[in-house]
C-alpha cells in the first residue's frame, strides 16, 4: 500500500469521493500544513494555525496509480479558487497536494502543468504542491461523516 494526502475544501466530501474510489483501501480526514501541534477543529476554523483540511488515504498502486488519484483530485474541485471551495472560505479550505516523495511531487507537478496547458480553466491553477508534514487526524465525529450522515450534510 501507498499513502497520499489531498486538500480540496471541506474534507467530508473529499473523503467520500476517495473512499468510494476503486483501489483506495482506507481514508482518514485531518489537518496538515500548519504550525500548531495537535490542532482541533476549532483551531482550524480560526484560520490561524495554517493547516488545511485534508484527506489522507492508503491505496493499492496495483489497482490505482498516484497519477490517477491526482486526476480524481483535480476533476472534483475548482483548483483556481484561492483559499475557498464553494461557500467554504478560509485557508483551511485551500487546494493542496501534500506529496510523500519525489515521485509524487513530480506526478503532481506534471498533472498541474498539463491541466494549466489544457485551457480547461480560464483562471490560474492555484493548487499548492508541498511536502507532507505531520498529519493530525481530525476528531472522530468528522471521520467518514457523509457515509454516516448522508450527502445533505455537506456542500459538495
Torsion of CA 35, 88, 136, 106, to 10 degrees: -80
Instruction: Examine the pLDDT at 156 and tell me if it is beyond 50.
Output: no
Is residue 154 part of the annotated active site? The answer reads: no
Instruction: Examine the pLDDT at 30 and tell me if it is beyond 80.
Output: yes
The answer to whether the CB of 120 falls within 8 A of the CB of 144 is no
Q: What is the mean pLDDT of residues 113-133?
A: 96
**pTM for this prediction:** 0.92
pLDDT attached to residue 81: 94
Of the residues 2, 4, 8, 10, only one is catalytic, namely: 10
pLDDT attached to residue 151: 62
Instruction: Examine the pLDDT at 16 and tell me if it is beyond 50.
Output: yes
Report the mean per-residue pLDDT for the chain. Answer: 92
Domain residue ranges in the chain: 2-149
- At residue 54, the 3 state secondary structure works out as strand
* Short-list 22, 5, 9, 28, CA closest to 147: 28
pLDDT attached to residue 140: 75
At 7, list the grid cell. 486538500
∠ Cα 38 43 46 (to 5°): 155
pLDDT attached to residue 45: 86
- At residue 14, the 3 state secondary structure works out as helix
* Short-list 20, 121, 130, 131, CA closest to 69: 20
Give the list of residues 6+ apart from residue 113 with CB closer than 8 angstroms, or none: none
Q: What is the mean pLDDT of residues 116-141?
A: 94
| H/E element, 71 | helix 66-75
The tens digit of pLDDT for each residue in 64-114 reads: 999 999 999 999 999 999 999 988 899 999 999 999 999 999 999 999 999
Instruction: Examine the pLDDT at 55 and tell me if it is beyond 80.
Output: yes
Instruction: Examine the pLDDT at 126 and tell me if it is beyond 50.
Output: yes
The domain defined by 2-149 carries CATH number 3.30.1060.10:
yes
pLDDT attached to residue 153: 45
The answer to whether the CB of 92 falls within 8 A of the CB of 48 is no
Amino acid at each position: 500500500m501507498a499513502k497520499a494526502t489531498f486538500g480540496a475544501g471541506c474534507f467530508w466530501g473529499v473523503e467520500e469521493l476517495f473512499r468510494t474510489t476503486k483501489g483506495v483501501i482506507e481514508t482518514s480526514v485531518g489537518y496538515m500544513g500548519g504550525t500548531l501541534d495537535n490542532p482541533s477543529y476549532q483551531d482550524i476554523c480560526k484560520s490561524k494555525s495554517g493547516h488545511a483540511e485534508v484527506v489522507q488515504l492508503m491505496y493499492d498502486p496495483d489497482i490505482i496509480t498516484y497519477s490517477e488519484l491526482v486526476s480524481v483530485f483535480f476533476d472534483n474541485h475548482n483548483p483556481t479558487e484561492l483559499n475557498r471551495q464553494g461557500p467554504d472560505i478560509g485557508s483551511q479550505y485551500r487546494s493542496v497536494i501534500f506529496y510523500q516523495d519525489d515521485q509524487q511531487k513530480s506526478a503532481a507537478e506534471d498533472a498541474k502543468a498539463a491541466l494549466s496547458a489544457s485551457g480547461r480553466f480560464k483562471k490560474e491553477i492555484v493548487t499548492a504542491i508541498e511536502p507532507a508534514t505531520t498529519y493530525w487526524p481530525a476528531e472522530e465525529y468528522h471521520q467518514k461523516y457523509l457515509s454516516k450522515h448522508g450527502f445533505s450534510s455537506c456542500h459538495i
